[in-house]
Structure 1
Amino acid sequence: MPTLILVRHGRTAANADGILAGRTRGIGLDPLGQEQAKNVGQRLAAVPLALVVSSPLLRTTQTAREVVAAQRSDVALRRDSGFVECGYGRWTGRKLSELAKEPLWSIVQRQPTAAIFPGGEGLAEMSARATDAVRRFDRQVARAHGARSVWAAVSHGDVIKAIIADALGLHLDLFQRISVAPGSVSIVTYGMHRPTVHHVNDLGSDLSGFVPQADAAPADGVPSGDAPVGGGA
Protein backbone atom coordinates (compact mmCIF):
# COMPACT_ATOMS: atom_id res chain seq x y z
CA MET A 1 0.00 0.00 0.00
CA PRO A 2 1.08 3.64 -0.38
CA THR A 3 3.18 5.48 2.17
CA LEU A 4 1.60 8.37 4.07
CA ILE A 5 3.63 11.38 5.21
CA LEU A 6 1.85 13.23 8.02
CA VAL A 7 2.88 16.88 8.33
CA ARG A 8 1.91 19.11 11.23
CA HIS A 9 1.43 22.74 10.21
CA GLY A 10 4.03 25.34 11.18
CA ARG A 11 3.76 27.46 14.30
CA THR A 12 1.12 30.16 14.73
CA ALA A 13 1.00 33.12 17.11
CA ALA A 14 -1.68 31.21 19.05
CA ASN A 15 0.76 28.31 19.52
CA ALA A 16 3.43 30.69 20.73
CA ASP A 17 1.04 32.46 23.12
CA GLY A 18 -0.38 29.24 24.57
CA ILE A 19 -3.89 29.79 23.17
CA LEU A 20 -6.04 26.92 21.92
CA ALA A 21 -6.82 28.05 18.38
CA GLY A 22 -9.04 25.11 17.50
CA ARG A 23 -11.09 25.79 14.39
CA THR A 24 -10.90 29.58 14.63
CA ARG A 25 -10.72 30.93 11.09
CA GLY A 26 -7.98 33.23 9.86
CA ILE A 27 -5.17 32.01 12.11
CA GLY A 28 -2.14 31.72 9.87
CA LEU A 29 1.51 30.91 10.32
CA ASP A 30 3.75 33.31 12.23
CA PRO A 31 7.25 34.07 10.82
CA LEU A 32 8.77 30.99 12.46
CA GLY A 33 5.86 28.89 11.22
CA GLN A 34 6.41 30.14 7.67
CA GLU A 35 10.06 29.11 7.95
CA GLN A 36 9.03 25.68 9.29
CA ALA A 37 6.60 25.21 6.40
CA LYS A 38 9.25 26.09 3.81
CA ASN A 39 11.68 23.74 5.52
CA VAL A 40 9.32 20.78 5.46
CA GLY A 41 8.54 21.51 1.82
CA GLN A 42 12.25 21.44 1.01
CA ARG A 43 12.70 18.20 2.95
CA LEU A 44 9.92 16.58 0.91
CA ALA A 45 11.10 17.99 -2.41
CA ALA A 46 13.07 14.82 -3.13
CA VAL A 47 10.00 12.63 -2.64
CA PRO A 48 7.54 12.77 -5.57
CA LEU A 49 4.14 13.00 -3.92
CA ALA A 50 1.08 11.57 -5.64
CA LEU A 51 -1.29 13.80 -3.66
CA VAL A 52 -1.30 16.36 -0.85
CA VAL A 53 -4.40 16.56 1.35
CA SER A 54 -4.87 19.34 3.88
CA SER A 55 -7.16 20.27 6.71
CA PRO A 56 -9.21 23.24 5.42
CA LEU A 57 -7.91 25.67 8.06
CA LEU A 58 -5.58 28.50 7.04
CA ARG A 59 -2.47 27.35 8.92
CA THR A 60 -2.59 23.90 7.36
CA THR A 61 -3.33 25.09 3.83
CA GLN A 62 -0.42 27.55 4.07
CA THR A 63 1.87 24.69 5.07
CA ALA A 64 0.46 22.40 2.38
CA ARG A 65 1.06 25.04 -0.31
CA GLU A 66 4.75 25.12 0.64
CA VAL A 67 4.90 21.33 0.31
CA VAL A 68 3.24 21.48 -3.13
CA ALA A 69 5.40 24.41 -4.27
CA ALA A 70 8.62 22.51 -3.52
CA GLN A 71 7.62 19.46 -5.58
CA ARG A 72 9.47 18.97 -8.85
CA SER A 73 6.29 18.13 -10.76
CA ASP A 74 2.65 19.11 -10.51
CA VAL A 75 0.76 17.58 -7.59
CA ALA A 76 -2.87 18.09 -6.64
CA LEU A 77 -3.76 19.78 -3.34
CA ARG A 78 -7.08 18.78 -1.83
CA ARG A 79 -8.79 19.93 1.37
CA ASP A 80 -10.76 17.49 3.47
CA SER A 81 -12.62 18.00 6.75
CA GLY A 82 -11.53 14.55 7.92
CA PHE A 83 -8.17 16.12 8.77
CA VAL A 84 -9.52 19.29 10.41
CA GLU A 85 -8.58 20.25 13.97
CA CYS A 86 -10.53 18.72 16.83
CA GLY A 87 -13.67 20.69 17.62
CA TYR A 88 -12.79 22.13 21.02
CA GLY A 89 -16.10 23.95 21.37
CA ARG A 90 -16.13 26.50 24.18
CA TRP A 91 -12.49 25.78 24.95
CA THR A 92 -11.56 27.45 21.66
CA GLY A 93 -9.65 30.70 22.02
CA ARG A 94 -8.82 30.22 25.70
CA LYS A 95 -5.36 30.07 27.27
CA LEU A 96 -4.01 26.61 28.01
CA SER A 97 -2.95 27.83 31.45
CA GLU A 98 -6.62 28.53 32.25
CA LEU A 99 -7.90 25.31 30.70
CA ALA A 100 -5.45 23.29 32.81
CA LYS A 101 -7.55 24.23 35.87
CA GLU A 102 -10.73 22.76 34.36
CA PRO A 103 -11.87 19.29 35.58
CA LEU A 104 -12.01 18.13 31.95
CA TRP A 105 -8.28 18.77 31.55
CA SER A 106 -7.44 15.77 33.75
CA ILE A 107 -9.75 13.56 31.68
CA VAL A 108 -8.07 14.73 28.47
CA GLN A 109 -4.71 13.75 29.96
CA ARG A 110 -5.67 10.42 31.55
CA GLN A 111 -8.67 9.06 29.65
CA PRO A 112 -9.01 10.81 26.29
CA THR A 113 -11.74 8.44 25.12
CA ALA A 114 -14.04 9.95 27.77
CA ALA A 115 -13.21 13.57 26.84
CA ILE A 116 -15.95 15.49 25.05
CA PHE A 117 -15.34 19.22 24.74
CA PRO A 118 -18.25 21.45 25.81
CA GLY A 119 -20.15 22.44 22.70
CA GLY A 120 -17.61 20.57 20.59
CA GLU A 121 -16.26 17.19 19.60
CA GLY A 122 -15.06 14.19 21.58
CA LEU A 123 -11.49 12.98 21.13
CA ALA A 124 -12.80 9.51 20.25
CA GLU A 125 -14.99 11.08 17.55
CA MET A 126 -12.01 13.05 16.22
CA SER A 127 -9.88 9.90 16.10
CA ALA A 128 -12.55 7.92 14.26
CA ARG A 129 -13.10 10.46 11.47
CA ALA A 130 -9.34 11.10 11.06
CA THR A 131 -8.42 7.43 10.76
CA ASP A 132 -11.36 6.92 8.39
CA ALA A 133 -10.06 9.79 6.21
CA VAL A 134 -6.57 8.28 6.15
CA ARG A 135 -7.79 4.91 4.97
CA ARG A 136 -10.18 6.45 2.45
CA PHE A 137 -7.45 8.53 0.79
CA ASP A 138 -4.90 5.72 1.03
CA ARG A 139 -7.20 3.47 -1.01
CA GLN A 140 -7.79 6.25 -3.53
CA VAL A 141 -4.06 6.87 -3.95
CA ALA A 142 -3.37 3.14 -4.33
CA ARG A 143 -5.98 2.83 -7.08
CA ALA A 144 -4.84 5.94 -8.95
CA HIS A 145 -1.06 5.83 -8.46
CA GLY A 146 -0.09 2.34 -7.36
CA ALA A 147 0.87 0.60 -4.14
CA ARG A 148 4.38 2.11 -4.00
CA SER A 149 3.26 5.73 -4.25
CA VAL A 150 3.65 8.35 -1.50
CA TRP A 151 1.14 10.97 -0.42
CA ALA A 152 1.02 13.61 2.30
CA ALA A 153 -1.62 14.84 4.72
CA VAL A 154 -1.15 18.19 6.47
CA SER A 155 -3.04 18.37 9.73
CA HIS A 156 -2.95 19.26 13.43
CA GLY A 157 -1.21 17.95 16.53
CA ASP A 158 -3.99 15.98 18.21
CA VAL A 159 -5.28 14.66 14.88
CA ILE A 160 -1.85 13.36 13.86
CA LYS A 161 -1.27 11.87 17.31
CA ALA A 162 -4.55 9.96 17.01
CA ILE A 163 -3.60 8.64 13.56
CA ILE A 164 -0.18 7.52 14.82
CA ALA A 165 -1.69 5.86 17.90
CA ASP A 166 -4.04 3.91 15.65
CA ALA A 167 -1.16 2.86 13.38
CA LEU A 168 0.87 1.71 16.39
CA GLY A 169 -2.08 -0.26 17.75
CA LEU A 170 -2.23 1.94 20.84
CA HIS A 171 -5.48 2.56 22.65
CA LEU A 172 -6.51 6.20 22.26
CA ASP A 173 -6.17 6.60 26.03
CA LEU A 174 -2.40 6.33 25.48
CA PHE A 175 -2.13 8.86 22.66
CA GLN A 176 -0.84 11.61 24.96
CA ARG A 177 2.43 9.66 25.09
CA ILE A 178 3.08 10.81 21.50
CA SER A 179 4.60 14.22 20.71
CA VAL A 180 4.05 15.96 17.36
CA ALA A 181 5.78 19.34 17.02
CA PRO A 182 4.91 22.12 14.54
CA GLY A 183 6.57 21.45 11.20
CA SER A 184 7.30 17.82 12.04
CA VAL A 185 6.93 14.78 9.80
CA SER A 186 5.59 11.34 10.75
CA ILE A 187 5.45 8.48 8.25
CA VAL A 188 3.18 5.42 8.07
CA THR A 189 2.69 2.68 5.48
CA TYR A 190 -0.61 0.77 5.64
CA GLY A 191 0.50 -2.71 4.62
CA MET A 192 -1.36 -5.91 3.83
CA HIS A 193 -1.16 -7.21 7.40
CA ARG A 194 -0.66 -4.10 9.53
CA PRO A 195 0.53 -0.48 9.42
CA THR A 196 4.26 0.16 9.69
CA VAL A 197 5.37 3.37 11.44
CA HIS A 198 8.66 4.67 10.03
CA HIS A 199 9.02 8.11 11.66
CA VAL A 200 7.29 10.03 14.45
CA ASN A 201 7.79 13.76 15.15
CA ASP A 202 10.77 13.89 12.77
CA LEU A 203 12.28 17.35 12.41
CA GLY A 204 15.39 16.71 10.36
CA SER A 205 15.96 13.25 8.85
CA ASP A 206 16.85 12.72 5.20
CA LEU A 207 13.57 11.61 3.61
CA SER A 208 14.98 10.65 0.21
CA GLY A 209 14.74 6.97 1.18
CA PHE A 210 10.98 7.25 0.68
CA VAL A 211 11.27 7.95 -3.05
CA PRO A 212 8.97 5.34 -4.66
CA GLN A 213 10.81 2.45 -6.29
CA ALA A 214 9.67 0.48 -9.32
CA ASP A 215 7.55 -2.56 -8.49
CA ALA A 216 9.85 -5.50 -7.98
CA ALA A 217 10.10 -8.51 -5.72
CA PRO A 218 12.31 -7.82 -2.69
CA ALA A 219 15.83 -9.07 -3.20
CA ASP A 220 15.77 -10.95 0.10
CA GLY A 221 12.63 -12.86 -0.88
CA VAL A 222 10.50 -11.44 1.92
CA PRO A 223 6.96 -10.72 0.66
CA SER A 224 6.16 -7.02 0.34
CA GLY A 225 4.63 -5.67 3.55
CA ASP A 226 5.94 -8.47 5.75
CA ALA A 227 8.19 -7.61 8.69
CA PRO A 228 11.62 -9.25 8.32
CA VAL A 229 12.45 -11.40 11.35
CA GLY A 230 15.38 -9.81 13.16
CA GLY A 231 14.64 -6.37 11.75
CA GLY A 232 16.22 -6.63 8.30
CA ALA A 233 19.07 -4.59 6.88
Structure 2
Amino acid sequence: MATLILLRHARSAANGSGILAGRSAGVGLDGTGEGQAAGLVERLAGVPLREVVVSPLQRCRETVAGLVAERGLSPVVEPDLAEVDYGEWTGRKISELTQEPLWRVVQQHPSAAVFPAGEGLAQVQARAVAAVRAWDRRLGAEEVWLACTHGDVIKAVLADALGMHLDAFQRIVVDPCSVSVVRYTETRPFVVKVNDTGGDVSALLPPKESAASDAVVGGSTGGSAG
Protein backbone atom coordinates (compact mmCIF):
# COMPACT_ATOMS: atom_id res chain seq x y z
CA MET A 1 0.00 0.00 0.00
CA ALA A 2 0.99 3.66 -0.20
CA THR A 3 3.12 5.73 2.18
CA LEU A 4 1.46 8.76 3.72
CA ILE A 5 3.21 11.94 4.84
CA LEU A 6 0.98 13.77 7.29
CA LEU A 7 1.91 17.45 7.29
CA ARG A 8 0.49 19.84 9.82
CA HIS A 9 -0.01 23.31 8.38
CA ALA A 10 2.69 25.86 9.19
CA ARG A 11 2.17 28.33 12.03
CA SER A 12 -0.87 30.49 11.51
CA ALA A 13 -1.76 33.93 12.81
CA ALA A 14 -4.18 32.23 15.23
CA ASN A 15 -1.45 29.92 16.55
CA GLY A 16 0.65 32.95 17.37
CA SER A 17 -2.17 34.78 19.15
CA GLY A 18 -3.52 31.88 21.23
CA ILE A 19 -6.87 31.77 19.46
CA LEU A 20 -8.73 28.55 18.59
CA ALA A 21 -9.25 29.29 14.91
CA GLY A 22 -11.18 26.14 14.07
CA ARG A 23 -12.88 26.57 10.72
CA SER A 24 -12.82 30.38 10.76
CA ALA A 25 -12.32 31.90 7.33
CA GLY A 26 -9.37 34.13 6.51
CA VAL A 27 -6.83 32.57 8.87
CA GLY A 28 -3.53 32.49 7.02
CA LEU A 29 0.09 31.90 7.95
CA ASP A 30 2.06 34.37 10.01
CA GLY A 31 5.65 35.35 9.20
CA THR A 32 7.09 32.33 10.98
CA GLY A 33 4.67 30.05 9.18
CA GLU A 34 5.56 31.51 5.80
CA GLY A 35 9.21 30.68 6.48
CA GLN A 36 8.30 27.15 7.57
CA ALA A 37 6.25 26.62 4.41
CA ALA A 38 9.02 27.92 2.18
CA GLY A 39 11.40 25.37 3.69
CA LEU A 40 9.21 22.44 2.64
CA VAL A 41 10.59 22.46 -0.91
CA GLU A 42 14.07 21.60 0.35
CA ARG A 43 12.89 19.34 3.18
CA LEU A 44 10.92 17.13 0.80
CA ALA A 45 13.30 17.39 -2.15
CA GLY A 46 14.16 13.67 -2.07
CA VAL A 47 10.57 12.48 -1.79
CA PRO A 48 8.62 11.59 -4.96
CA LEU A 49 5.06 12.75 -4.32
CA ARG A 50 2.24 11.23 -6.32
CA GLU A 51 -0.48 13.42 -4.82
CA VAL A 52 -0.89 16.35 -2.44
CA VAL A 53 -4.21 16.41 -0.58
CA VAL A 54 -5.24 19.35 1.59
CA SER A 55 -7.82 20.44 4.10
CA PRO A 56 -10.13 23.11 2.63
CA LEU A 57 -8.82 25.79 5.00
CA GLN A 58 -6.59 28.66 3.88
CA ARG A 59 -3.67 27.92 6.19
CA CYS A 60 -3.27 24.43 4.69
CA ARG A 61 -3.47 25.66 1.11
CA GLU A 62 -0.86 28.33 1.86
CA THR A 63 1.44 25.78 3.50
CA VAL A 64 1.70 23.60 0.38
CA ALA A 65 1.52 26.39 -2.24
CA GLY A 66 5.26 26.61 -2.85
CA LEU A 67 5.73 22.84 -2.76
CA VAL A 68 3.04 22.06 -5.33
CA ALA A 69 4.20 24.91 -7.57
CA GLU A 70 7.73 23.49 -7.57
CA ARG A 71 6.44 19.98 -8.33
CA GLY A 72 3.89 21.04 -10.92
CA LEU A 73 1.09 19.44 -8.90
CA SER A 74 -2.45 20.61 -8.24
CA PRO A 75 -3.51 20.06 -4.62
CA VAL A 76 -6.74 18.14 -4.13
CA VAL A 77 -9.10 19.39 -1.44
CA GLU A 78 -10.39 16.70 0.90
CA PRO A 79 -13.30 17.94 3.08
CA ASP A 80 -12.91 15.05 5.52
CA LEU A 81 -9.44 16.31 6.45
CA ALA A 82 -10.84 19.68 7.55
CA GLU A 83 -10.16 21.08 10.99
CA VAL A 84 -12.33 20.00 13.90
CA ASP A 85 -15.65 21.83 14.00
CA TYR A 86 -15.22 23.40 17.42
CA GLY A 87 -18.66 24.98 17.26
CA GLU A 88 -19.13 27.65 19.92
CA TRP A 89 -15.48 27.37 20.93
CA THR A 90 -14.36 28.70 17.54
CA GLY A 91 -12.55 32.03 17.72
CA ARG A 92 -12.18 32.02 21.50
CA LYS A 93 -8.94 32.39 23.44
CA ILE A 94 -7.34 29.17 24.62
CA SER A 95 -6.71 30.78 28.01
CA GLU A 96 -10.49 31.19 28.42
CA LEU A 97 -11.33 27.71 27.19
CA THR A 98 -9.10 26.08 29.82
CA GLN A 99 -11.65 27.22 32.41
CA GLU A 100 -14.54 25.39 30.70
CA PRO A 101 -15.66 22.05 32.25
CA LEU A 102 -15.40 20.45 28.80
CA TRP A 103 -11.68 21.25 28.70
CA ARG A 104 -10.91 18.49 31.20
CA VAL A 105 -12.93 16.03 29.14
CA VAL A 106 -10.96 16.99 26.03
CA GLN A 107 -7.73 16.43 27.95
CA GLN A 108 -8.60 13.24 29.86
CA HIS A 109 -11.41 11.51 27.94
CA PRO A 110 -11.39 12.96 24.40
CA SER A 111 -13.44 10.13 22.93
CA ALA A 112 -16.39 11.53 24.91
CA ALA A 113 -15.77 15.17 24.01
CA VAL A 114 -18.38 16.85 21.81
CA PHE A 115 -17.97 20.57 21.21
CA PRO A 116 -21.10 22.69 21.74
CA ALA A 117 -22.84 23.16 18.35
CA GLY A 118 -19.83 21.39 16.79
CA GLU A 119 -18.59 17.81 16.38
CA GLY A 120 -17.10 15.18 18.64
CA LEU A 121 -13.48 14.10 18.52
CA ALA A 122 -14.55 10.49 17.91
CA GLN A 123 -16.42 11.73 14.83
CA VAL A 124 -13.30 13.59 13.70
CA GLN A 125 -11.21 10.44 13.95
CA ALA A 126 -13.77 8.36 12.06
CA ARG A 127 -13.99 10.74 9.11
CA ALA A 128 -10.25 11.43 8.92
CA VAL A 129 -9.17 7.78 9.12
CA ALA A 130 -11.78 6.79 6.53
CA ALA A 131 -10.53 9.50 4.18
CA VAL A 132 -6.87 8.56 4.62
CA ARG A 133 -7.51 4.87 4.03
CA ALA A 134 -9.67 5.59 0.98
CA TRP A 135 -6.92 7.70 -0.56
CA ASP A 136 -4.37 5.03 0.27
CA ARG A 137 -6.39 2.35 -1.54
CA ARG A 138 -6.93 4.65 -4.50
CA LEU A 139 -3.24 5.42 -4.97
CA GLY A 140 -1.95 1.88 -4.50
CA ALA A 141 1.38 0.32 -3.62
CA GLU A 142 4.76 2.05 -3.82
CA GLU A 143 3.21 5.52 -4.05
CA VAL A 144 4.02 8.34 -1.65
CA TRP A 145 1.44 11.02 -0.99
CA LEU A 146 1.09 13.97 1.33
CA ALA A 147 -1.90 15.18 3.30
CA CYS A 148 -1.75 18.68 4.79
CA THR A 149 -4.21 19.01 7.63
CA HIS A 150 -4.52 20.04 11.29
CA GLY A 151 -3.04 19.05 14.62
CA ASP A 152 -5.96 17.22 16.21
CA VAL A 153 -6.83 15.53 12.92
CA ILE A 154 -3.28 14.23 12.53
CA LYS A 155 -3.15 13.07 16.15
CA ALA A 156 -6.38 11.16 15.61
CA VAL A 157 -5.02 9.44 12.48
CA LEU A 158 -1.76 8.59 14.24
CA ALA A 159 -3.61 7.16 17.24
CA ASP A 160 -5.49 4.84 14.90
CA ALA A 161 -2.28 3.82 13.13
CA LEU A 162 -0.58 3.14 16.46
CA GLY A 163 -3.51 1.04 17.70
CA MET A 164 -4.10 3.52 20.52
CA HIS A 165 -7.48 4.37 21.97
CA LEU A 166 -8.53 7.91 21.14
CA ASP A 167 -8.40 8.72 24.85
CA ALA A 168 -4.59 8.49 24.60
CA PHE A 169 -4.20 10.73 21.58
CA GLN A 170 -3.28 13.77 23.69
CA ARG A 171 0.05 12.02 24.35
CA ILE A 172 1.03 12.64 20.71
CA VAL A 173 2.74 15.94 19.85
CA VAL A 174 2.26 17.41 16.37
CA ASP A 175 3.94 20.81 15.92
CA PRO A 176 3.23 23.32 13.13
CA CYS A 177 4.81 22.23 9.83
CA SER A 178 5.89 18.89 11.28
CA VAL A 179 5.71 15.71 9.24
CA SER A 180 4.64 12.28 10.41
CA VAL A 181 4.99 9.24 8.16
CA VAL A 182 2.67 6.23 8.05
CA ARG A 183 3.01 3.28 5.69
CA TYR A 184 -0.16 1.23 5.34
CA THR A 185 -0.02 -2.47 4.48
CA GLU A 186 -2.62 -5.19 4.08
CA THR A 187 -2.55 -6.15 7.75
CA ARG A 188 -1.31 -3.13 9.69
CA PRO A 189 0.00 0.42 9.46
CA PHE A 190 3.65 1.10 10.25
CA VAL A 191 4.31 4.46 11.91
CA VAL A 192 7.69 5.48 10.52
CA LYS A 193 8.05 8.94 12.04
CA VAL A 194 6.11 11.35 14.26
CA ASN A 195 6.46 15.14 14.57
CA ASP A 196 9.60 15.57 12.50
CA THR A 197 10.47 19.26 12.17
CA GLY A 198 13.98 18.82 10.79
CA GLY A 199 15.44 18.77 7.32
CA ASP A 200 15.31 16.27 4.47
CA VAL A 201 12.86 13.46 5.24
CA SER A 202 13.66 11.12 2.34
CA ALA A 203 15.48 8.74 4.68
CA LEU A 204 12.29 8.37 6.71
CA LEU A 205 10.53 6.51 3.92
CA PRO A 206 10.75 2.71 4.10
CA PRO A 207 12.83 0.87 1.52
CA LYS A 208 10.86 -0.97 -1.15
CA GLU A 209 12.07 -4.33 0.09
CA SER A 210 10.18 -3.69 3.35
CA ALA A 211 6.80 -3.40 1.64
CA ALA A 212 5.46 -6.61 3.21
CA SER A 213 2.92 -6.56 6.02
CA ASP A 214 5.15 -8.47 8.45
CA ALA A 215 7.07 -6.56 11.10
CA VAL A 216 10.79 -7.18 11.47
CA VAL A 217 11.52 -9.62 14.30
CA GLY A 218 14.38 -8.47 16.50
CA GLY A 219 14.16 -4.87 15.31
CA SER A 220 15.18 -3.00 12.20
CA THR A 221 18.55 -3.46 10.52
CA GLY A 222 18.87 0.31 10.36
CA GLY A 223 19.21 0.46 6.59
CA SER A 224 18.46 3.73 4.84
CA ALA A 225 15.71 4.17 2.29
CA GLY A 226 16.42 2.92 -1.18
Helix, strand or coil: the match of 1:129?
helix
- Runs of 4+ displaced beyond 3 Å: 210-213
Paired residues of 2:185 and 2:211 also in contact (CA < 8 A): no
2:224 aligned partner: none
Helix, strand or coil: the match of 1:128?
helix
Distance across 2 between alignment mates of 1:201 and 1:195:
17
Do structure 1's residue 116 and structure 2's residue 114 form an aligned pair?
A: yes
2:85 aligned partner: 87
Instruction: Name the aligned partner's letter for residue 140 of structure 1.
Output: R
TM-score, normalized by length of structure 2? Answer: 0.93
Do structure 1's residue 183 and structure 2's residue 177 form an aligned pair?
A: yes
Deviation at 1:70, TM superposition (A): 3.5
Do structure 1's residue 206 and structure 2's residue 196 form an aligned pair?
A: no
1:151 aligned partner: 145
Paired residues of 1:44 and 1:70 also in contact (CA < 8 A): no
TM-score, normalized by length of structure 1? Answer: 0.90
Instruction: Name the aligned partner's letter for residue 65 of structure 1.
Output: A
Q: How big is each residue's C-alpha offset from its partner over 1:47-91, in whole Å with a ceiling of 9 and x where there is no partner?
A: 1100000000000011122221343xx333100111100000000
Paired residues of 1:47 and 1:210 also in contact (CA < 8 A): no
Deviation at 1:207, TM superposition (A): 1.5
Going from structure 1 to structure 2, the CA distance change for 1:85 and 1:228 (only over 3 Å counts) comes to same
- CA RMSD in angstroms comes to 1.6
2:57 aligned partner: 57
Distance across 2 between alignment mates of 1:76 and 1:226:
34
Do structure 1's residue 194 and structure 2's residue 188 form an aligned pair?
A: yes
2:216 aligned partner: 228
Paired residues of 2:181 and 2:205 also in contact (CA < 8 A): no
Helix, strand or coil: the match of 1:36?
helix
Percent identity, aligned pairs only? Answer: 54
Paired residues of 2:42 and 2:200 also in contact (CA < 8 A): no
Instruction: Name the aligned partner's letter for residue 151 of structure 2.
Output: G
Deviation at 1:182, TM superposition (A): 0.3
Instruction: Name the aligned partner's letter for residue 146 of structure 2.
Output: A
Instruction: Name the aligned partner's letter for residue 151 of structure 1.
Output: W
1:15 aligned partner: 15
Which residues of structure 1 form unaligned runs of 5+? Answer: none
Distance across 2 between alignment mates of 1:171 and 1:135:
18
Q: How big is each residue's C-alpha offset from its partner over 1:26-48, in whole Å with a ceiling of 9 and x where there is no partner?
A: 10000100111111232112211
Instruction: Name the aligned partner's letter for residue 15 of structure 1.
Output: N
Aligned match for 2:105, one of 95, 107, 115: 107
Going from structure 1 to structure 2, the CA distance change for 1:223 and 1:61 (only over 3 Å counts) comes to closer
Instruction: Name the aligned partner's letter for residue 225 of structure 1.
Output: S
Paired residues of 1:45 and 1:67 also in contact (CA < 8 A): no
Paired residues of 1:91 and 1:118 also in contact (CA < 8 A): yes
1:139 aligned partner: 137
Aligned match for 1:167, one of 158, 161, 167: 161
Distance across 1 between alignment mates of 2:67 and 2:155:
20
Q: How many pairs are equivalent?
A: 221
Instruction: Name the aligned partner's letter for residue 216 of structure 2.
Output: P
